[in-house]
């Protein structure tokens, strides 16, 4: 059952591409916002059109470098509540579609820019990708084996956690402020800024200890047996997060090593305990450990593959993995909506569109004739 969603009265124009901005506008679209994603056709050849994050959106092609394309954009922007862009600093200014220009015709607009390093500072013009923002924010240095190089995570934390999520928060805050002041505002989202905020706990521990955090050698990163990963007899892994002593004691009872219960954070014996746990966990398969530990309140879990998570009853029952009708009418497995609202839940309404699929309809809704639309197409404006 589809609902209008919390943002059903909000119109979003998304000029961004790839992951950070489109993921942000997908969240807004999932919760009812009308989102028109705009890309220049020259980007189509890059092969970076991630259609799964374009669900619930309209998609159109538009050449902002052409006067006609800019005119079309300004017509759209005049009625927009939110504009999102992800170009390098200064690009939208050169195109003439920056916040100051849009504010002249739409003073209530909320304009969000998402970049790697922000609109100000010595790195504002630097190129970068997820790995660069992770390294600059000091997070990459904390990922990987203690005696090896930093490991690049297999998911894009900078793009989504540092960029998309903070952009959503900023946009909602600005819309909330606008409801009281009637004024829009500009939002400057730096993915690297967002990542630095995730250093809160390592920074706290470093101040307490007077030492810099080290890779795979901290309280919550492999230093002790109670918060670690262990290989099983079938080459899989079990993650243990028994931080509190009550969980740790139950784990020791389960593994029949009660003498370790009072040595949870003992610095002299921690390596011995970890080695013992490694031997113990190799005695059973991951399935066997999962079944056994399920009866104990010890904060344990099997390290799952993506394929396993997509078929896990937790995510199916939570509607985080759902079947939805694709463009060709065939049911497809899709990721669901993590924010569960009781009165105005988000919904999956439309499948991702093809590149530029809504170009004609959007222009017709703006009042252009079919002949004008065809002329725009011939001139590669759309």
Say which residues have a Cβ less than 8 Å from residue 30's Cβ, sequence separation at least 6. 5, 55, 56, 337, 346, 347, 348
In whole angstroms, give the CA distance from residue 184 to residue 186. 7
Residue 129 annotated in active site? yes
**CB count in 10 Å sphere of residue 140:** 23
**CB count in 10 Å sphere of residue 199:** 15
Residue 141 annotated in active site? no
365 in Cβ contact with 11 (< 8 Å): no
Residue 160 DSSP label: I
Distance from chain centroid for Cα 46: 22
- CA nearest to 250, candidates 238, 264, 239: 264
Burial class (CB in 10 A: 0-12, 13-18, 19+), 231: middle
- CA nearest to 36, candidates 20, 60, 16: 60
Active-site residue among 14, 30, 159, 193? Answer: 159
Active-site residue among 129, 222, 312, 324? Answer: 129
In whole angstroms, give the CA distance from residue 222 to residue 147. 12
Which residues are part of the catalytic machinery? 129, 159
């Amino acid at each position: 059952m589809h609902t209008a969603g919390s943002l059903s009265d909000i119109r979003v124009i998304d000029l961004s591409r790839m992951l950070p901005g489109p993921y942000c506008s997908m969240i807004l679209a999932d919760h009812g916002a009308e989102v028109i994603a705009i890309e220049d056709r020259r980007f189509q050849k890059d092969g970076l059109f991630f259609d799964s994050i374009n669900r619930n959106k309209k998609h159109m092609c538009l050449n902002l470098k052409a006067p006609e394309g800019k005119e079309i954009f300004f017509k759209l922007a005049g009625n927009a509540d939110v504009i999102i862009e992800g170009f390098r600093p200064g690009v939208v200014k050169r195109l003439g579609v920056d916040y100051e220009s849009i504010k002249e015709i739409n003073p209530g607009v909320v304009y969000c820019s998402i970049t790697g390093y922000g609109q100000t500072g010595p790195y504002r013009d630097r190129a970068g990708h997820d790995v660069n923002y992770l390294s600059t924010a000091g997070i990459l240095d904390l990922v990987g084996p203690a005696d090896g190089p930093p490991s690049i995570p297999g998911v894009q934390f900078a793009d989504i956690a540092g960029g998309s999520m903070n952009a959503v928060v900023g946009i909602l805050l600005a819309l909330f402020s606008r409801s009281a002041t009637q004024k829009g505002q500009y939002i400057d989202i730096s993915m690297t800024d967002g990542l630095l905020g995730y250093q809160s706990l390592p920074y706290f521990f470093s101040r307490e200890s007077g030492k810099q955090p080290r890779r795979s050698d901290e309280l919550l990163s492999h230093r002790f047996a109670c918060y670690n990963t262990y290989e099983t007899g079938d080459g899989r892994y079990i993650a243990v997060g028994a931080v509190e002593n009550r969980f740790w004691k139950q784990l020791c009872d389960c593994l029949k090593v009660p003498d370790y219960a009072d040595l949870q954070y003992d610095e002299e014996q921690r390596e011995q305990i970890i080695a013992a746990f490694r031997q113990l966990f190799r005695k059973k398969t991951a399935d066997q450990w999962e079944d056994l530990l399920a009866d104990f309140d010890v904060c344990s879990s099997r390290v799952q593959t993506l394929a396993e998570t997509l078929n896990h009853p937790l995510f199916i029952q939570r509607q985080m993995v759902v079947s939805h009708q694709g463009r060709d009418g065939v049911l497809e497995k899709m990721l669901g909506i993590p924010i569960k609202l009781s009165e105005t839940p988000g919904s999956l309404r439309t499948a991702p569109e093809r590149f530029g699929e809504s170009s004609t309809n959007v222009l017709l809704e703006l009042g252009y004739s079919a002949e004008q639309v065809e002329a725009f197409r011939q001139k590669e404006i759309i």
